[in-house]
Amino acid sequence: MKYALFLGCAIPIKYPGFEAATRLVCERLGIELVDLPFSCCPPPTSLKLVHYDSWLALAARNICLAEEKGLDLMTLCSGCVNTLKEANHVLKQNESKKKKVNRILEEHGHSYQGTVHVTHVLDVLYQDTLVETLIREKVRDIPLRIGCHYGCHYFRPPKVMYPEELSDAESYVPVKMDHLLSIIGVEPMEYSRKFLCCGSPLGANVDQEAGYAITRQKLSLIQERNIQALSVICPSCFEQFDMGQIVLAKRTKERPKTPIFFLTQLIGLSLGMSPKEVGLDVHRVKSRKLLEELSIS
């Protein structure tokens, strides 16, 4: 099993632990990752709203790099997978857009063909053969009560992101992270407004205070359910909850209560890796005491 690894902008610079955990997990599970000279995805906000065709061409250039190697493309970010999946979808469906984008790409030696699949690391790890390998390779359970936060862009709009898994009502409710984490002993917890935005896009683009208000509300609902930690699959969501708790704690004088994990960090721990190996030592909201209770250090 082999994928072109799309790290995006934030992870290599701000959260290398996510990358380290993912590489270690993939190596253990027999997934080969190939690094290519990708650029920004670009995000499903900002440029997309200003000049759609430029956004589309930049996304297509990344897809082309994977196509030229004959590899499907795997991302670690909900925003990245949203952009690249939508671009792939639009260019496969709209011949005029494809021709326009290829005229742009031609100047740079590329041509979009629409031959590869774009996916997220969560969907890769959820495949039957890899679930079986995870069960076989697991060395310890992680018996924590964890809430899963999927974020906005991972599955919306469902007709683009998961057209093959739509319900009769043409909707899609993600469950893969909950199911995958249950394999490693996690107790996935339901909580009110589970699929509500983390607040990051609003805070970054429009109103920071309003963004943190959403974050505060989600954290409050999570804590009401006595959830010990949160699992995310997007660096922006991680930052909003991790750094957001520090920001909010300064205002309320309360200590941050909810450690945030990236999905592959939890899986890495279950495969016997140390908290430092998967990058937990640099998180702002520390999980050390929580993990020490499980004899993980």
- The percent of residues above 70 in pLDDT, for the chain, comes to 100
**Residue 79 CA to chain centroid, in angstroms?**
8
Q: Is residue 263 part of a domain?
A: yes
Taking CA atoms, 228 is separated from 47, 146, 225, 256, in Å, by 37, 6, 9, 12
Q: For position 58, which CATH number holds?
A: 1.20.1050.140
Inside any domain, residue 132: no
In sign, the C-alpha dihedral spanning 64, 69, 72, 73 is negative
Q: How confident is the model at residue 203 (pLDDT cuts 50, 70, 90)?
A: confident
pLDDT in tens, 118-175: 999 999 999 999 999 999 999 999 999 999 999 999 999 999 999 999 988 889 999 9
* 234 Cβ neighbours under 8 A, 6+ residues apart: 77, 78, 79, 151, 153, 154
How many residues in total does the chain contain? 297
Q: How many separate domains does the chain show?
A: 2
pTM of the model: 0.97
Least confident among 78-92, 206-220, 276-290: 206-220
Distance CA(269)–CA(14), nearest Å, equals 21
The mean of the pLDDT values for the chain is 96
Predicted pLDDT at 168: 84
The answer to whether residue 136 is domain-embedded is no
Q: Give the pLDDT score at 253.
A: 81
Cis peptide before 12 (omega within 30 of 0): no
**The Cα angle at residue 25 between residues 24 and 26, in degrees rounded to 5:** 95
Could you list the residue range(s) of the whole structural domain that residue 43 is in? 2-121
Q: How confident is the model at residue 254 (pLDDT cuts 50, 70, 90)?
A: confident
